[in-house]
């Protein structure tokens, strides 16, 4: 996979021998390639030929501040979905006027904070939310810039848990009700209509669903403008797919860029793109140690020190992630193993029936493409410590997030006075 190569029999990530890191850093740990993060941003940026656009990195895919700051340095804005993500983005030097605030359940505190910080816009998903934003804006003697997230009723995405644009999904407001909600929005004293938004799902490798969604956005924009509404921003969401396995064909970035130009080339709007996974997925690996090997007539298990609490995508979505050994595989016979973690759940696995050669207890394995929705979806289930995150740059590494040990986690509990 990307930036992973065997050199003299040892697996390297961005030219750094991973084995050398394991001598200094306790496994499991996440490791990110700065070069890959930069290359992805550049490749997307270069593929876009619009006059007026903003890449707003979807912070949820990997919210480490070093990662956000790298994109901020490259000119990126941010798509955030909570006060926590907003604080991270601001701390990592994303300009407030490049922040869009998405999400179906913004609370009062989050709305207040976003307004105080003068963000670019709120992507609004319900009438109830619209009213609350308006009220808070009036209290702050401001007008809140908003876009309505429309639900275009399109099926897209790697699997049903990450599809967000179908009519039955909780997201957005039916495109058929667009006019009504814009009329209502314009009647509210604290609202400034700025644009329109859609996000149809994640890990989309075909152009067709994007094309369909862009058509609907364009059609509604034209209709709203005809009715006298000022639409200056079209947020097309994220969702760009990546390659997780050797036989997967990822979205063609050039074609995606061309599609944007074809659909929005002469619409006179700022176009916002909210990529997450595209920028971060293949920049990350999870390094883990083999604790035990359990072989039997029925099934072989390789039990590693990372668990589903560290990386949940395989069990949650049935997601495929390639696994590599640190030693280059030789000509010996491979055996089939399930790769599992120490958590007390049958669902605690990373891969099933994979071929592994010459593995021994104490060896290390790499789970590939874990830069997006990896660390951010981790938990402390089974009172397991959280793990380190490292950044690699030109043959060196740096810790960019320290593990939180089990004692710190345990000490958060307060023993009740009633027990």
- Return the active site residues: 344
197 token code pair? 């938004």
Nearer to ligand LLP, 178 or 242 (CB): 242
User: Which residue, among 153, 152, 135, has the nearest Cα to 144 in the 3D structure?
Assistant: 135
CB of 217 to ligand LLP, least distance (A): 14
Q: Which residues bind ligand LLP (CB under 6 A)?
A: 58, 60-61, 79, 102, 162, 164, 199, 202-203, 237-240, 274-278, 313, 317, 373
Q: Which helix (H) or strand (E) holds 58?
A: strand 53-58
Any long-range contacts for 216-225 (C-beta under 8 Å, 24+ apart)? 216/150, 216/152, 216/154, 216/175, 217/150, 217/152, 218/263, 218/264, 218/267, 220/150, 220/175, 220/178, 220/196, 221/196, 221/267, 221/269, 223/178, 223/179, 224/178, 224/179, 224/182, 224/196
Nearer to ligand LLP, 58 or 119 (CB): 58
Nearer to ligand LLP, 278 or 337 (CB): 278
User: Which residue, among 152, 258, 256, has the nearest Cα to 199 in the 3D structure?
Assistant: 152
Nearer to ligand LLP, 89 or 162 (CB): 162
Nearer to ligand LLP, 236 or 326 (CB): 236
CB of 280 to ligand LLP, least distance (A): 8
CB of 152 to ligand LLP, least distance (A): 13
- Cα(first)–Cα(last) distance of the chain, in Å? 53
Q: Which residues contact 317 (CB under 8 A, 6 or more apart)?
A: 158, 159, 161, 162
CB of 389 to ligand LLP, least distance (A): 17
């Amino acid at each position: 996979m990307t930036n992973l190569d065997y050199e003299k029999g040892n697996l390297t990530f961005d030219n750094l021998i991973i084995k050398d890191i394991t001598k200094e850093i306790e496994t499991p740990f996440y490791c990110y390639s700065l070069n890959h993060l930069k290359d992805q941003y550049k490749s997307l940026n270069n593929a876009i030929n619009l006059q007026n656009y903003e890449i707003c990195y979807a912070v949820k895919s990997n919210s480490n501040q070093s990662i956000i700051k790298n994109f901020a340095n490259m000119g990126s804005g941010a798509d955030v979905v909570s006060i926590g993500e907003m604080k991270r983005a601001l701390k990592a030097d994303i300009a407030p006027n490049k922040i869009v605030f998405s999400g179906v359940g913004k609370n009062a505190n989050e709305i207040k904070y976003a307004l105080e910080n003068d963000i670019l816009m709120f992507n609004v998903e319900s009438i109830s939310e619209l009213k609350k934003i308006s009220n808070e804006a009036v209290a702050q003697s401001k007008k809140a810039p908003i876009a309505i997230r429309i639900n275009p009723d399109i099926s897209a995405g790697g699997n049903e848990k990450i599809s967000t644009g179908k009519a039955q999904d909780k997201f957005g407001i039916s495109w058929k009700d667009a006019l009504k909600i814009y009329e209502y929005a314009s009647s509210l004293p604290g609202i400034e209509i700025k644009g329109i938004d859609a996000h149809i799902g994640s890990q989309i490798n075909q152009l067709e669903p994007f094309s369909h969604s862009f058509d609907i956005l364009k059609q509604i924009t034209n209709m709203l403008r005809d009715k006298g509404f000022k639409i200056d921003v079209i947020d097309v969401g994220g969702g760009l797919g990546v390659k997780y396995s050797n036989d997967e064909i990822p979205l063609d970035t050039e074609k995606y860029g061309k599609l944007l130009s074809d659909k929005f080339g002469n619409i006179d709007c700022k176009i916002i793109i909210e990529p997450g996974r595209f920028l971060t997925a293949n920049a990350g690996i999870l390094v883990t140690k083999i604790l035990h090997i359990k072989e039997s007539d029925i099934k072989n298990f390789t039990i590693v020190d990372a668990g589903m609490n560290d990386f949940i995508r395989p069990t949650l979505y049935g997601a495929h992630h390639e696994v590599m050994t640190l030693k280059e595989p030789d000509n010996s016979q491979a055996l089939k193993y399930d790769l599992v973690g120490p958590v007390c759940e049958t669902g605690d696995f990373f891969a099933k029936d994979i071929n592994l050669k010459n593995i021994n207890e104490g060896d290390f394995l790499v789970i590939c493409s874990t830069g997006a929705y990896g660390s951010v979806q981790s938990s402390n289930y089974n009172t397991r410590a959280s793990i380190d995150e490292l950044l690699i740059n030109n043959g060196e590494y740096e810790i960019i997030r320290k593990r939180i040990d089990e004692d710190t986690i345990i000490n958060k509990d307060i023993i009740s006075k009633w027990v």
